[in-house]
Amino acid sequence: MSTRIRVTGDSPHNRRDERGSKPSCFQRLGELLGFAGIVAVTAVAALAGLAGCKPVNGSPERAPVSVQCNEDEPCWDCHTMGNRRCGLDDPAVKR
């Protein structure tokens, strides 16, 4: 059974449940502490995120440049590049 809250005025202290009774002091305190806890956790998470994003002094390192070889160049390795089929003049190929 859900509890329906009926507003009888503009003040949050005028809230009443469906039986017409006001929420207890402990219930109101629990709501306030819950809200304060959510705000505190959100603030800590935001500060931790900002603390983890500090810039590093100095210049960034460049990524290594990859060398691109064509089949006719001496850097071409037919065992690991292309379709991995070596020609007839390769000593590793059995005749």
Q: Please check whether residue 70 lies inside any domain of the structure.
A: no
pTM: 0.38
Share above pLDDT 70 across residues of the chain, in percent, rounded to a whole number:
71
Q: Please check whether residue 62 lies inside any domain of the structure.
A: no
Distances (CA, A) of 69 to 64, 74, 92: 16, 8, 21
Q: Please check whether residue 80 lies inside any domain of the structure.
A: no
Q: How far apart are CA 34 and CA 45, in angstroms?
A: 17
Q: Please check whether residue 44 lies inside any domain of the structure.
A: yes
pLDDT tens digits, 77-95: 888 888 888 877 656 555 4
Q: Please check whether residue 7 lies inside any domain of the structure.
A: no
Q: Please check whether residue 35 lies inside any domain of the structure.
A: yes
| Structural domain range at position 17 | 12-51
Q: How many domains does the chain have?
A: 1
Q: Please check whether residue 36 lies inside any domain of the structure.
A: yes
**CA 12: distance to chain centroid?**
37
Q: Please check whether residue 40 lies inside any domain of the structure.
A: yes
**CA 8: distance to chain centroid?**
44
